[in-house]
Each structure stands twice: as C-alpha cells, then as structure tokens.
A and B are shown apart, each in its own frame.
Chain A
Amino acid sequence: MGQIEWAMWANEQALASGLILITGGIVATAGRFTQWYFGAYSIVAGVFVCLLEYPRGKRKKGSTMERWGQKYMTSVVKLFGPLTRNYYVRAVLHLLLSVPAGFLLATILGTACLAIASGIYLLAAVRGEQWTPIEPKPRERPQIGGTIKQPPTNPPPRPPAEARKKPSEEEAAAAGGPPGGPQANPIPVTDEVV
C-alpha cells in the first residue's frame, strides 16, 4: 500500500468531474432553468479543469502512459511552473471551482465529484507528490562515422587490439595475441586516405 500514487487517481477523477460539469452546464443553460448563469459558469469551469488535467503527470517509478495528444497541453501547463506542479495549489483550486456549481441542481454532481478529486489531490500533496511533465525522449541521431575513431596506422596484418594497447592498459587487457608492444614498422607508414 505504501507505493500508491494517489495523484494519478485524482487526475482521472478531476478529468471525469470536468466532463460532468460540462454536461451539467449544458443541460442547465439549454433548459434555461432559473439561475442558468450558474450553468454557463459550470461549462467554463469544466473546460478549464479538463484542459488543466489532460496531461498526465509522470510516475515516480516505471513508465507512464500518455494520453493521446497530451504533449501540446503539457507545454502550456509546464509554463506555470510551481502553480501547476504543486498539488496543494491544485487541491485548493478545484475546491474553489466546485463551490459555485453547487447552487444549481443540474451541476451539483459535478461539484461533488470535483470536491472528491480535490480531497485526493490534498492527500497526494501531503504525501509529497508533484506533477512532472512527461518529456519526449530525445531521439538519438546516429552520428555518421561517429564510431570510427582514428583509422589504423599500421597496414595489415595487424595484431589484435590488446597487443596494440598502451603499456598501462596491458594489465587490464586479456592475454590474447602475441605479447610485446605494438608492431614496429621498419619503414614509416603514412595513410593516404582522404
């Protein structure tokens, strides 16, 4: 039990609550019930919560599944720095956002769900979790010719690498190939490779 990351669950809950708020808000404004402006507020709040919660944070251990297309929102959410990183801020924000929707019957469900999500975020914050963006791994471009170090200085036949190593590395190298230092050429050789 000690390894549960509550933030991920709170994130799913907040996303679901955002959708519930949007739906309730649409019902309230379309039906033009009394106090329908609460419904309009609920739609706006729902959209905001959905956008904020769409990018999933990175797990501490293991790999995290990204939501489709989340990298665009990740860059926006990352901009706010500590405001979005800290879960205390998110808990308080969700609690405040959920209160006005509670006055209207159609959106009261969204209030309850968002309040629960806010509670779980508080739990996550108390346990020291933080939102870290999922960065795309930089693609390693294979350097053309990067592994080709210096071309060999000796013509073939060449002794194996161990015999060509410097004397300080000879203890570390396996005892393969003829003992002794590198081959000494009677005539100096230069390579004419361009």
Chain B
Amino acid sequence: MLSAVTGLGSIESTVAKNLPVVSIHQLGLCLSRASASVLNLNCSLILLPMCRILLAYLRGSQKVPSRRTRRLLDKSRTFHITCGVTICIFSGVHVAAHLVNALNFSVNYSEDFVELNAARYRNEDPRKLLFTTVPGLTGVCMVVVLFLMITASTYAIRVSNYDIFWYTHNLFFVFYMLLMLHVSGGLLKYQTNLDTHPPGCINLNRTSSQNISLPEYFSEHFHEPFPEEFSKPEEFTQNTFVKICMEEPRFQANFPQTWLWISGPLCLYCAERLYRYIRSNKPVTIISVISHPSDVMEIRMVKENFKARPGQYIILHCPSVSALENHPFTLTMCPTETKATFGVHLKIVGDWTERFRDILLPPSSQDSEILPFIQSRNYPKLYIDGPFGSPFEESLNYEVSLCVAGGIGVTPFASILNTLLDDWKPYKLRRLYFIWVCRDIQSFHWFADLLCMLHNKFWQENRPDYVNIRLYLSQTDGIQKIIGEKYHALNSRLFIGRPRWKLLFDEIAKYNRGKTVGVFCCGPNSLSKTLHKLSNQNNSYGTRFEYNKESFS
C-alpha cells in the first residue's frame, strides 16, 4: 500500500509538471517522463527489502523500539513484490509511450532544432531508431530481461520450480547495468541559454510560416518538436508580451537523474552481499547429526563469533551436495553464553535434502536412530549464511503469546523454547500457549524431550502456568495413543483430532482479559488464514489478538 501511494504521488507530481498543455505530440513524452520517474522510485525502493542483514539488524536493535515498526519489517517481501508489479506496469506504459515518441520523432522531424531530434533525418524508420541508439537498444534488452524475470516469478513457478525463479531473478544485476546505460544516452536536453532565447520569442530572420503557434509555454526542461501548422497572426497579437530572440538556442543533455536514485540502494545491496559472502566463507564444524522419525534430521554445529536470536533462520550451502543451491532453515537451537552449539532440524522433502542426508548419514546406518553418531566422520564442508530475522522473534516481546505449529513448522518455536529453558526472566513473555498439530504421532518425538524438560523446569520454579502445551494428532489410525511411556506430561496433553480454534481463542481471551496476545503461526496456509481471521474478530473480554504473519514462498 505504501508503494502504491508513493508511486501515485510521484506520478501525479511529474505529470502535473509536464502537462499544462497536452497535445498528441506531447502526451507521449509526458507519459514517458512520468512513468520514468515512477520507475526511478520503484527501482531504487525494490532493492531495500532484500537487504536482509540490514533488516535483521534493524529488527534487533534498540533504535526501533516500536512494535509497529517491527511489524512493518515483516511485510518486506510483500513490499518487494508490490514494487516489482509496479515496475512491470509502468515499464509497459513507458515502452508504449516511447514507441509513440519514436514515431513522432521521425515523422515530425524539426529542421529548426536539429539537436533536439532523436531521429537523424525525416521519416527515419522508427525501428532503426530503436535498435541503433544506446537508449533504444538498452531499453529493448531491459524489457527482455524484465520479461524473463517476471514470467519466472509467478506464484506457480515459485512453488513448483524454485530454481528457475532464483536463477532468473539474479539477472537483476544485468537489468541495473543496462538501466545505467539507458539514461546516459542523453536524449533529453534542456536549453542552456533561456535568457537570450526565451521560449516563445520571435525570430525576426525567419519566415512567418515557421513561427511558433502555441501561446502558452511551460518552463520545462525539455523542448518538443514543433508542430507544423501555421500560426494565426491574430493569436499572436493577443499575447501579452513577446520577446525577440537574441541568438539561437543551445541545448545540453540533462544529468541522468536515475543514477542518483539507484546508486544508493544498489551500493547498499552490493555491500551487504559482499559482507555476507565474506562472513559465510568460513565453514562450520558439524558436531553431530541425529536422525529423527518421520524423515527429519538434526544437525548440531559450532562456528566462531556466531550469534543468533531465537526465531531467526540461516541459509545452508553444501558444495558437495550442490554447488549453486542454498536453502533456508530455521534455527532450532541458538548459541548462548554458556553453550556455543546451535542446530537446525531439516525435513527431507526434495532432492537437495535427500542428497544431503545421504552424505551425512550413509544409507546403511539410517535405520537405527535416535542415537547420535559419536564416531568422528568426515563430514562434508558446510557453509551458513545469516542469521536473518523473522517475525517469530517477536513472541518473546509480548506478555502473552499463542504459538501454533503445524508439523515441521515447530522449528522456530523450538528455538524459543530452548531459550526459555535457558533463562526466561529477561524477556517480557509471561505466558506461552504452545499448540502443535501433527499428522503422525512419531513426529512429536522431535521435541518431546525439550517439552518435558521445560515443563519440569517450570514446575520446579513454581510457575506451572507459564507454558501451556497442547498437542494435537490430526490423523490417527487408532492404534498408538501415547507418545512414549516416559513422556507423562505430554501424553496427558495429547488430543486426538484437529483443534477447535474458536473455542481455544475464547478460552485464551477469557483468561487474559484486556491483554494483547501475540499470535504466531508456522504451518500450512489454510491454518494461517483461519488464525488470521479469528485474530481479527472481536471478543467480549477485551483481549486483543495481534497476528504476526510469516511469508514463505
């Protein structure tokens, strides 16, 4: 929404500047100038949400105290997409306007002002104009690059073939280089000697047929080719004040404004990429690899100077598995002051994770499993990039939080629980409702130990109502009803069937009257939509539910 407003604002200002007199000739130029301004703004803004280290820093720093500002950071991907769509639309307008201009430049070639024309002679084929001038050629290449990037960025492609999206999206760098060249062509010129040759002045040497006919002029930065109609002498005498030209007009190319707009964010983005590259060049040391039921693998590792807050995610890059691909995984255990180990849980779903698992845990020994492999193996080199922020970090900053996890979506909350296990007092959180819905009862084993330890710890500290755990088994074959014999606390909190959200929300509202409850969901989209809708409904207890949304692909 912000970008729409800024886009419209800039288009209005530029169009208003450019449009006191609109004739067919001028409409093309005005539209292309206006859309170029909007494009400038959007091309510079679109890079900013992708500076993820900067955003993670802003999210965690004390300089951003308000929760509302941090929630804006959650929307960074949506902002990026909105800017992209705006660029697409206004590029279309820009291209159409320039095609019309190209035709006009060639048809209405003006002999009076030779320097102003883009065409080199009358009726030059506009296609030649397009392909042999620097702005034309770079413009065509940019449109082709944009076409490739946009067709590969649709939701269907991102969901099915993420690789196509990723590799084509890296063409943005080519796009920006072409953009810099595009505006350096010097097509738009301004007049340098306005005082000696003001617009509308009469050249006494010329014949009357070539005189200017338009009565009003705008003090604009460009001149357009003059129309060829005759002027009526009566109109001229009606003018207030007509000056006489002292000398011929001189023109000079405008300084390309686009360079100013995009150099800032582009440098920022390049600096961030460089920083990330340098920081991730040192491989991590894998301490242990643990295989969990239901196709999940846990990796524990250490790295020097690695600090992360609970809820953040990292990107793993393993050259032995794939030289080019990297994949994000949420941290399930963050390094603390006492323990430098951190870990991730990965679910084996695609070819990258399958190959990764085969390298770390050779297939012969994959069957026996919850024991860690203590033998020292030659683990492949693993590089991590990050950590990057996510909305789940905010759950520790609410007084009451409701965290709903679906299946493997429990990973961000696992790091929160690990942090609470370590020390819960420094945070604002005083009550956590933790709801975990799984299809398979074996999945609860991933964090059963953690949950039991947390439950015991709070029981010992006489705060048994700090964490309210509810586990739901959404599909059951009726045979296995308990998680394990030693997990008493969890077995008594296990429900069969899907949770009834409305009742849960009412219950939480009743027990936390007048408070603001942060709702966090990591799971399938349908779950997320249900919770979002319920969070926005009013309830009779005066409790406010604030839904914090994470956006995945």
Contact = CB atoms under 8 A, between A and B. Distances in A.
Interface of A: 1-6, 8-9, 12-13, 16, 23, 27, 31, 33, 56, 59, 62, 64-65, 105-106, 108-109, 112-113, 116
A3 B351 contact: yes
B156 interface: yes
The 6 residue pairs across chains A and B that have the minimum distance between CB atoms: A12-B151, A13-B151, A65-B156, A105-B126, A4-B161, A9-B164
Given A4-B164, A8-B160, A27-B96, 4 more contacts: A105-B103, A105-B127, A109-B95, A109-B143
Nearest to B126: A105
Q: Is the interface of A mostly helix, strand, loop or mixed?
A: helix
B144 A116 contact: yes
Nearest to B127: A105
Interface of B: 92, 95-96, 99-100, 102-103, 126-127, 130, 140, 143-144, 147-148, 150-152, 154-157, 159-161, 163-164, 322, 324, 351
B154 A12 contact: yes
Contacts of B140: 112
Contacts of B92: 23
A12 B156 contact: yes
Nearest to A66: B156
A106 B96 CA distance: 8
A12 B152 contact: yes
Contacts of B155: 65
Contacts of A6: 164
B99 A105 contact: yes
A99 to B, nearest CB: 15
A113 B152 CA distance: 13
A67 to B, nearest CB: 8
Nearest to A113: B147
A116 B149 CA distance: 13
A64 B147 contact: no
A108 B137 CA distance: 13
Contacts of A3: 161, 351
Nearest to B156: A65
Contacts of B161: 3-5, 8-9
Contacts of A65: 155-156, 159-160
Contact of A64 (B96, B103, B160): B160
B228 to A, nearest CB: 19
